[in-house]
């Protein structure tokens, strides 16, 4: 039994030595190289002309948006004015019909258009050449 214990201790020691040797060669035994690829982003170089063009485009877009909003507001206002004018026209047509009925019941003839017979015309100023 003692031989078995000794044999077992020797086998364990041998296995431990093999593991130590194997790990030393795998960890520090050979040189490992790593490839590093840095990703550096450099902003694109823009000229003053490109910046001016971009600013002009932004300004024109804002101007077009503002014009569109103003034209929409004007359209809404015009619709309201047309609605009011149509209402006034309908009321005037009603008044015209009412006055016509009143004139007819009172026997009033429609007024005739007066023309001025004695219109004095002023002579045209002489043309200078």
pLDDT in tens, 27-44: 555 666 778 888 888 888
pLDDT in tens, 85-115: 999 999 999 999 999 999 888 888 776 766 6
Taking alpha carbons only, the member of 41, 61, 57 closest to residue 49 is: 57
Q: pTM to 2 decimals?
A: 0.40
pLDDT in the model for residue 75:
94
The number of C-alpha atoms within 13 Å of 40 and in the hemisphere containing its C-beta is 3
pLDDT category at 79 given cuts 50, 70, 90 is very high
Is 122 or 42 the better-scoring residue by pLDDT? Answer: 42
């Amino acid at each position: 039994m003692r031989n078995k214990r000794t044999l077992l201790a020797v086998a364990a020691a041998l296995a431990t030595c093999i593991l130590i040797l194997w790990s030393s060669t795998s960890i520090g035994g050979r040189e490992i190289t790593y490839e590093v690829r840095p990703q550096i982003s450099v902003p694109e170089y823009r000229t003053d002309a490109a910046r001016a063009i971009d600013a002009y485009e932004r300004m024109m877009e804002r101007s077009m948006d503002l014009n569109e909003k103003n034209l929409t507001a004007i359209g809404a206002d015009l619709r309201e004015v047309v609605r009011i004018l149509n209402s006034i026209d309908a009321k005037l047509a009603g008044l015209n019909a009412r006055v016509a009925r009143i004139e007819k019941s009172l026997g009033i003839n429609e007024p005739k258009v007066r023309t001025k017979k004695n219109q004095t015309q002023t002579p045209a100023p002489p043309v200078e050449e």
